[in-house]
Every structure is written in structure tokens, then in C-alpha cells.
């Protein structure tokens, strides 16, 4: 049986679905460098240094935040990728005798005007380069730690993959959440997956970076950063839908 679908219907479908993509709060951002930080709110020690976003300078007891101005869609999931680097490491050595620093973390927080400072984060993915030898917590001099609503979900020792954050090289982190499963990649290696990570109660959130140093310190820099909410996949659904209509039209 042939299905006759007029070309105008295809056009209408295309306009309707493609117009949905930007209209469904598919805000996103991508920065290949930080030659400008005009789109960010910087708190504490955070600043632009050249083309990098420096969350802390290499001096003790520093804390800095960078939040993207516009709240982003978070409830259905997201993918974010950023390059980070710890240099000029100094101060105390960690429990393993290694130089290190407390590192940077990716954070999702409730929307806020930031007048009272950084809000408590809902989701934190920390890239820690210091083993404090706290029993039952720190497991390595280079680790990924995930917290949800201030409850640690677990840690992953990235040194088992040959990755050391203290090497002062540029590393790349990718964090993806499909609505329930959170995957963390470092330098293209999947280092940990956590299930039952949901942000469904939050339709939008502030997307930020946090850096802290204590007695061990470093220049903690973010060199590039992108964020894409999960609803951006609507554009792929639109392409798939158009292909389906065209296939039926040829039947």
C-alpha cells in the first residue's frame, strides 16, 4: 500500500521539529580558550590569565569559582568536556610522598544570583591530585571523586590507567549523564561509571568549576570547556523523523 505524503507536510515537520530544538532550552556553550571570560561569573581567586581560566594561583589557601552566566538544562542529562592543567606545584607533599594539589571540580548548582557566594552544589565531579590519607576516603594521589547532594558516590584511582594529574601536563575530562548513568572519562579512558545519578528534580542548574588549594598548591587552570544538554539530541530525532517520512513517501 502506498502512503502519499505531500512535500509540504515534510517541510512542515522539518520546521516544527527543528524549531523545537532551540526552543526547548537547549542552551549550550563551547570555549576553545578563555581569551574572554565575559560570559562567566568569577568568584574568589578565579581570574583570566592569558587564554586560560585560572581557578587558583600557586599559593596556599586559595579558592575560586567560575559559573556560566546562563542556567543550563540538566534534568535530562548532559555532556561536558574540558581541558585542565596543574602547574607550579608546591607546598606540602601528600601521604604517598608525592607533590600535588586539591584540584578542580565540575559542579552543578541550583540557579542563583550568586550574591551570597557560590550555592551548595548538587553534583560534583572532582579531579583530585592529593592523597590526604584520610581513612576510608582518599584512595590515590590522582583520583576522580563523584558526590551527589553532598554524599560521596565513590572514587576511581586514575593512576591504575597510567594517568597522573601531578605531571603538569594538560589532561582532558569528559563527563556524560544520560539521565541515570554518569560516565567519567579522563584522557579518553573511561575511569568510572555510576548508576542512579539523577538530576530530574532540577530542570535547570548553574554550571561551574571550582578550585581549591590548602597547604599544597598549584596554578589550577581550565584551558577549554564545552557543555551540551541532553535535549540537544532532539535535532538528531528531527533528522531521523524526516528520513522516516521520506522513506514512507517512496513506498
In order, the DSSP letters of 57-77 are: -SSSSEEEEEEESS-EE-TT-
Distance CA 81, CA 176 (A): 9
19 within a domain of the structure (yes/no): no
20 within a domain of the structure (yes/no): no
115 within a domain of the structure (yes/no): yes
Distance CA 160, CA 154 (A): 16
Q: What is the pLDDT of residue 135?
A: 66
237 within a domain of the structure (yes/no): no
The three grid cell numbers given for residue 37, joined into one nine-digit string = 571570560
End-to-end alpha-carbon separation of the chain, Å?
8
141, with CB counted inside 10 A (0-12, 13-18, 19+), is buried
Q: What is the pLDDT of residue 116?
A: 87
Q: Considering its fold, how many domains does the chain have in total? A: 1
For 83, half-sphere exposure in the C-beta direction (CA atoms, 13 angstrom radius) is 12
16 within a domain of the structure (yes/no): no
Contact between 130 and 94 under an 8 Å Cβ cutoff? The reply is yes
The three grid cell numbers given for residue 235, joined into one nine-digit string = 535535532
- The DSSP result for 150-218, as a single string, is TEEEEEEEGGGGT--GGG---EEEEEEE-SS-EEEEETTEEEEEESS---TT-SEEEEEEEEEESSEEE
45 within a domain of the structure (yes/no): yes
Contact between 42 and 64 under an 8 Å Cβ cutoff? The reply is yes
Contact between 104 and 120 under an 8 Å Cβ cutoff? The reply is no
Strand partners, 42: 66
Exposed e or buried b for every residue in 100-136, given b needs 16+ CB within 10 A?
bbbbbbbbbbeebebeeebbebbbbbbbbbbbeeeee
User: Which of 208, 178, 177, 181 lies closest to 194 in space, CA to CA?
Assistant: 181
Per-residue pLDDT of the chain (251 residues; tens, 9 = 90+): 444 444 444 343 333 433 333 334 456 999 999 999 999 999 999 999 999 999 999 999 999 999 999 999 998 999 999 999 999 999 999 999 999 999 999 999 999 889 889 999 999 999 999 998 876 678 999 999 999 999 999 999 999 999 999 999 999 999 999 988 999 999 999 999 999 898 877 889 999 999 999 999 999 999 999 999 985 544 443 444 444 334 444 44
Q: What is the pLDDT of residue 95?
A: 92
Q: What is the pLDDT of residue 136?
A: 63
10 within a domain of the structure (yes/no): no
Q: What is the pLDDT of residue 248?
A: 43
The three grid cell numbers given for residue 226, joined into one nine-digit string = 564545552
Residue 177: CB atoms within 10 Å: 25
164 within a domain of the structure (yes/no): yes
Which residues form the domain of 56? 29-230
Q: What is the CATH number of the domain that holds 151?
A: 2.60.120.200
Q: What is the pLDDT of residue 27?
A: 62
Amino acid at each position: 500500500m502506498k502512503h502519499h505524503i505531500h512535500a509540504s507536510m515534510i517541510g512542515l515537520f522539518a520546521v516544527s521539529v527543528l524549531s523545537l530544538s532551540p526552543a526547548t532550552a537547549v542552551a549550550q556553550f563551547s570555549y576553545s580558550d578563555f581569551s574572554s571570560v565575559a560570559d562567566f561569573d568569577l568568584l574568589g581567586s578565579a581570574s583570566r590569565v592569558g587564554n586560560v581560566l585560572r581557578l587558583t594561583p600557586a599559593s596556599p589557601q586559595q579558592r575560586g569559582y567560575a559559573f556560566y552566566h546562563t542556567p543550563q538544562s540538566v534534568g535530562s542529562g548532559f555532556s561536558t568536556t574540558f581541558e585542565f592543567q596543574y602547574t607550579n606545584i608546591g607546598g606540602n607533599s601528600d601521604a604517598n610522598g608525592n607533590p600535588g594539589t586539591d584540584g578542580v571540580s565540575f559542579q552543578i548548582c541550583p540557579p542563583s544570583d550568586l550574591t551570597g557566594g557560590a550555592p551548595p552544589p548538587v553534583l560534583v565531579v572532582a579531579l583530585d591530585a592529593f592523597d590526604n590519607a584520610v581513612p576510608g576516603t582518599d584512595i590515590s594521589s590522582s583520583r576522580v571523586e563523584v558526590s551527589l547532594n553532598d554524599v560521596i558516590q565513590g572514587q576511581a584511582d586514575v593512576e591504575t590507567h597510567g594517568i597522573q594529574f601531578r605531571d603538569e601536563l594538560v589532561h582532558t575530562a569528559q563527563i556524560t549523564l544520560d539521565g541515570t548513568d554518569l560516565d567519567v572519562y579522563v584522557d579518553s579512558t573511561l575511569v568510572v561509571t555510576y548508576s542512579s545519578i539523577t538530576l530530574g528534580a532540577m530542570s535547570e542548574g548553574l554550571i561551574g568549576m571550582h578550585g581549591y588549594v590548602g597547604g599544597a598548591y598549584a596554578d589550577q587552570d581550565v584551558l577549554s570547556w564545552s557543555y551540551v544538554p541532553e535535549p540537544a539530541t532532539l535535532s538528531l530525532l528531527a533528522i531521523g523523523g524526516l528520513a522516516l517520512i521520506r522513506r514512507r513517501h517512496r513506498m
